[in-house]
Amino acid sequence: RPQEEPTRVTHTVMPARPGDPSAKTGAPARAREKSLTVATLNPQVKAVEYAVRGPIVLKAGDIERRLLQGEKLSFTDVIKANIGDAHAMGQQPITFLRQVVALCCFPELLSSPAFPDDAKQRAQRILQDCGGQSIGSYSASQGLQCIRRDVADYITHRDQGVPSDWNNVYLTTGASDGIMSILKLVVSGRGPSRTGVMIPIPQYPLYSAAISELDAVHINYYLDEDNCWALDIEELQRAYLDAKLHCQPRVLCIINPGNPTGQVQTKKCIEEVLHFAYEENLLVMADEVYQDNVYLPDCQFHSFKKVLYEMGPEYFNGVELVSFHSTSKGFTGECGFRGGYMEVLNMDPQVEAQLVKLLSVRLCPPVPGQAAMDVIVNPPKEHEPSYAQFTKEKSSVLDVLAHKAKLTEQFLNSVPGIKCNPVQGAMYAFPQIFIPPRAIQEAQSLSMAPDMLYCLRLLEETGICVVPGSGFGQREGTFHFRMTILPSPEKLQVLLGQLKGFHLRFLEEYSQEEPDSSRASEQPD
Amino acid sequence: RPQEEPTRVTHTVMPARPGDPSAKTGAPARAREKSLTVATLNPQVKAVEYAVRGPIVLKAGDIERRLLQGEKLSFTDVIKANIGDAHAMGQQPITFLRQVVALCCFPELLSSPAFPDDAKQRAQRILQDCGGQSIGSYSASQGLQCIRRDVADYITHRDQGVPSDWNNVYLTTGASDGIMSILKLVVSGRGPSRTGVMIPIPQYPLYSAAISELDAVHINYYLDEDNCWALDIEELQRAYLDAKLHCQPRVLCIINPGNPTGQVQTKKCIEEVLHFAYEENLLVMADEVYQDNVYLPDCQFHSFKKVLYEMGPEYFNGVELVSFHSTSKGFTGECGFRGGYMEVLNMDPQVEAQLVKLLSVRLCPPVPGQAAMDVIVNPPKEHEPSYAQFTKEKSSVLDVLAHKAKLTEQFLNSVPGIKCNPVQGAMYAFPQIFIPPRAIQEAQSLSMAPDMLYCLRLLEETGICVVPGSGFGQREGTFHFRMTILPSPEKLQVLLGQLKGFHLRFLEEYSQEEPDSSRASEQPD
């Protein structure tokens, strides 16, 4: 037992008891075995991986600290293009949203002439629905009723009249929380009856993390990179049939617009998916948090619910569908508020009662986040004083995002050894990168995914932080990274320029020598 | 298959395909089997119970709706004394806290003369720590660094110099979220190696719910009702040894001040508990969310950490201890913000890395809740402009609570068949009630806990909503309910009066007839 540094603080030492190990040696017991070690840790927690905040981000934090301490590097800033965190990248909040939340927080401001009447009316309505008219009281576990009603009205309007019942709407702590709650409900069984959850590959790693944590089975269906990351129904069927042999597939997760892949699904594709889900009796989880983030003129967001409705009542009344939205994305980018909602369709009423019970243990979603969600679904109307500014701010955010989506795609495709599908929606580019065989070998010798090696080198040499494709899943032998399109246009230009420089250096470095390194490897283009 | 009402909305029906069941009958498929039913639901979710928002609260909601619809009942209001929701019961927010959060939400207010400088300084400091200086950006998964530092300073000051390292502080989404995360880490094993979690009985049902959800083993240790709900170390040992036979006890949960029982643990008792935890190598979870809610002059809050420190370095460096705090209780009562923190001591660094990973999947705690937590740990200082008002508001809340704690205890003890321990701390009274044998029989015939029958009748006849003791756990043959002391003193007087009236009627009703009903039953006093 190593002798420890003596603790420098004064204290009263209890008399050592017989049998106490420290009594024998006089050494403090700091080295004694812990109750909780990696060996005794919940194995499902161990199995969880979450690349968006993984090792690459820890490394970025280290580099930031070194820069802050005055260390001289070849760059002065870390650019965090790893996470869809719009405000951190300089996007400004929507004024009306913040006015409403501030009024809810400090109702004395309701008498201030500095706040517009429509913001005051929104805040007053929310406060009237709060216990004691305070957002400091718990809401119902499903959220405040007036906001659930606003969400239902918003969905009805968005879907051109398809009815939405506010009783089916649950406010959540961001979309992640809702997704986790639904997955928690469906997980059961052991061995061949274990619940299988179908997820796209590439996927947003919340899904794989949640599936690991809950000890369900991942069923991967691969999106078609050669076809703009479209969902291929035959691949869905293949994955399903393969999985049937060893688990019970019960849930189908869809991300539309795609994360990290940025595709926007066509109506026809959604119909096929819903038809498949109907046939195989799968619960559909439609992650639609990027529903406002569609950039290309020939792309349009179709909600799974509206498409289901248009397929007729045998589908609309048959398929169990949960769709998710969030305050964190769209044009508001309010990640820190942890707001969101889910709409639950065709759920067995007894199961829904169990869902309410499960949610009630966590008491309620944060009420300021609920208020933020309300502004998104109940924005200023044309005749209201904040309409003009709200509309201008909203368009400005979305126009700039559309511009950056185009810019990113075009630039990346101009770099030899990088190939990028159009960023039709969401906030990310997910380009395929050529990694020379020697770099692959080097990564393997370090027990590291080759694109992790690439991203670590990129970070170390340029300060640009992106996430390796291996954190999202990709077809074997292909390599990618996910970068957000959130930096300001000027910063994005700089980022892309530096990325190009790095990429060319990387290719050169690993393509020199060893003339046999030219054997088959999947180089895009 | 029953014929359904035709859906009234128009829709495009997809051509029925061969093999489609609806093609044969023409009937819509609403009645087809669900993918997710109570039979296929996650059995661990099914096992979860959470009385604080359980059937009695659903019933209270029903009654409220009936009252709103103009139905005439013998009362005009439902009084929700079921949940520690201070603002809902009329407690006013602390002005300074709301000012700081409003300034963070809408930084334009930083130039408003209506806000005091100290509130502005707090808000500016928080904003400077936020990405893009916006509380709409994600914070680190552990929370904003400046707030974690403030928490560490607060703990050091509270514990009279016992050092606290901000790296051990994690901000959380209320205390519940932190408790759940820690429990998630420690759960593992099957059969006799399954993780056992020791919880007090009576307990706050978050614990039993989390243990069920995670499929761990409940190990109940009973608090000593005859001794002011003190924790009896021999009972702890008994429970441990019994449990050892069929599981691996690895965690000891303590709630101090107690919920629902309101006791404040003595320093000697805490020493004994920590000694026991050291000996048996148990991770200690100290739920200290009521640390500011201590009412009796001869009671004092001792943090588990400080007591551990005073036991000497072999303990202070040996026992794995996690303590929890929250914005929801204390003198702020800001439940809706979902703010809290935990301090983690002596955790294996590899396990701590796993904790960070687990937290990162949920991205971050709500930032407005983090800001609220900051005000609690970093209140206005004596020389600052908001000090006087803050101090006055804080004392006022705590003085009124102390008054109501005394009032409730005294009143309840004046009612025949009710016996209540002193409410030393927290926000609840947990009186024992005598339930006549005939009422017990009636409840049993309804497959209902006798105190559930009592509480339902109380709700139906008076509009008072309290939670049956069976939802918290109690010694067999004893019956209790938990009521908060949060209604205003006037309302509390009325509530207690109505409760007394009900109780006497209930006793009379069930004690009449059947002369053999006088057989042994545990009537307190």
Q: Residues in chain B, how many?
A: 525
| Residues in chain B closer than 8 A to A363 (CB atoms) | 53, 174, 176, 335, 338
Say which residue the tokens 């035709």 belong to: B6
Q: Which of B42, B163, B210 sits opposite A187 (nearest CB)?
A: B42
Pairwise CB contact (< 8 Å): A13 & B313: yes
Pairwise CB contact (< 8 Å): A347 & B98: no
Fold of B100-377: Aspartate Aminotransferase; domain 2 (3.40.640)
Q: Token pair for residue A123?
A: 């805040």
| Residues in chain A closer than 8 A to B7 (CB atoms) | 313, 316-317
Q: Which residues contact A215 (CB under 8 A, 6 or more apart)?
A: A44, A187, A194
Nearest to B524 by CA among B444, B411, B421: B421
CA distance A314 to chain B (A): 5
Closest-CA residue of chain B to A183: B42
Report which residue type is found at A155.
I
Fold of A47-88+392-518: Aspartate Aminotransferase, domain 1 (3.90.1150)
According to DSSP, the residues that pair with A325 across neighbouring strands are A341
Strands B321-326 and B340-345: antiparallel
Report which residue type is found at B94.
I
The dihedral sign for the CA sequence B299, B304, B309, B311: positive
CA distance B269 to B263: 12
Query: Phi and psi of A340, rounded to 5°?
Result: 180, 175
| Chain Cα centroid distance, residue B31 | 40
Nearest to B349 by CA among A239, A34, A99: A34
CA distance B160 to chain A (A): 12
Pairwise CB contact (< 8 Å): B38 & A98: no
The dihedral sign for the CA sequence A478, A481, A484, A488: negative
Q: Which residues contact B246 (CB under 8 A, 6 or more apart)?
A: B192, B217
CA distance A80 to A88: 9
Q: Which of B30, B334, B354 sits opposite A318 (nearest CB)?
A: B30
Kind plus residue range of the DSSP H or E element containing A241: helix A233-244
What does the CA dihedral A200, A201, A205, A207 come to, rounded to 10 degrees? Answer: 30
Pairwise CB contact (< 8 Å): A366 & B364: no
Closest-CA residue of chain B to A19: B279
What DSSP string describes A249-298?
Answer: EEEEEEESS-TTT-----HHHHHHHHHHHHHHTPEEEEE-TTTT-B--TT
Q: Tell me what ipTM this predicted complex has.
A: 0.88
| B-interface mutation test, from A7, A22, A42, A373, most B Cβ less than 10 A away | A42
Instruction: Evaluate whether A125 touches A110 at the Cβ level (below 8 Å).
Output: no
Q: Between chain A and chain B, how many beta carbons pairs sit less than 8 Å apart? A: 382
Say which residue the tokens 């009422």 belong to: B439
Q: Token pair for residue B465?
A: 């909503």
Kind plus residue range of the DSSP H or E element containing B7: none
Domain boundaries, chain B: 47-88+392-518, 100-377
| Residues in chain A closer than 8 A to B114 (CB atoms) | 108, 112
CA distance B65 to B67: 5
| Residues in chain B closer than 8 A to A251 (CB atoms) | 35
| A-interface mutation test, from B4, B8, B17, B42, most A Cβ less than 10 A away | B42
Q: Per-residue pLDDT for chain B (525 aa), expressed as one digit of tens each?
A: 333 333 333 333 333 343 444 443 444 444 578 888 888 888 888 777 777 667 888 899 899 989 989 999 989 989 999 989 999 999 999 999 999 999 999 999 999 999 999 999 999 999 999 999 999 999 999 999 999 999 999 999 999 999 999 999 999 999 999 999 999 999 888 888 899 999 999 999 899 999 998 989 999 999 999 999 999 999 999 999 999 999 999 999 999 999 999 999 999 999 999 999 999 999 999 999 999 999 998 999 999 999 999 999 999 999 999 999 999 999 999 999 999 999 999 999 999 988 998 998 888 999 999 999 999 999 999 999 999 999 999 999 999 999 999 999 999 999 999 999 999 999 999 999 999 999 999 999 999 999 999 999 999 999 999 999 998 999 999 999 999 999 999 999 999 999 999 999 999 999 876 545 444 444 444
Query: Phi and psi of A508, rounded to 5°?
Result: -65, -50
Angle between helices A450-462 and A489-511 (to 10 degrees): 120
Instruction: Evaluate whether A311 touches A291 at the Cβ level (below 8 Å).
Output: no
| A-interface mutation test, from B280, B363, B375, B467, most A Cβ less than 10 A away | B363
CA distance B414 to chain A (A): 31
Q: Token pair for residue B260?
A: 């629902």
CA distance B180 to chain A (A): 9
| Residues in chain B closer than 8 A to A318 (CB atoms) | 28-30, 32
Report which residue type is found at B519.
R
